[in-house]
Amino acid sequence: MDVVAVVTEEDKREAMDNLIEKTSFFTHVNHIITQRNKQKSEALIAIKPNIMVIYSKNHLHVGTDPELVEYLAKRISEEGYNAAVVESRNIYTQWFPKRTVHLVARTMGYSGKGYTLVDLTEESEPFDYQGELKNDFVGTTWKNADYRITFCKNKTHLACLYTLSMKNVFGTLPVQDKWNHYHEPVGWERATLDVLKRFPPDFALIDAFWSSDGLNGCVIEHLNHTKTLIGGTSALAVDWVGALKMGVNPLDNPLMKMATATLGIPEYKVTGDTTPYEKWTNVSSAIAKGLLLLETLKISTSLYHLLLTQLMDPEFT
Q: What is the pLDDT of residues 36-62, one digit of tens each?
A: 999 999 999 999 999 999 999 988 899
Q: Please write the tens of the pLDDT for every residue from 268-311.
A: 999 999 999 999 999 876 665 666 555 554 556 666 777 777 77
User: What is the rounded average pLDDT for all residues in the chain?
Assistant: 92
Give the percent of the chain with pLDDT over 70.
94
State pTM to two decimals. Answer: 0.94
Residue 93 scores a pLDDT above 80: yes
Closest CA to 139 of 197, 195, 73: 195
Strands (E) across the chain are located at 2-8, 44-49, 82-87, 116-119, 124-128, 135-139, 147-157, 161-163, 203-212, 223-224, 228-232, 268-271
Of the two residues 309 and 241, the one the predictor is more confident about is: 241
Per DSSP bridges, beta strands 161-163 and 82-87 are unpaired
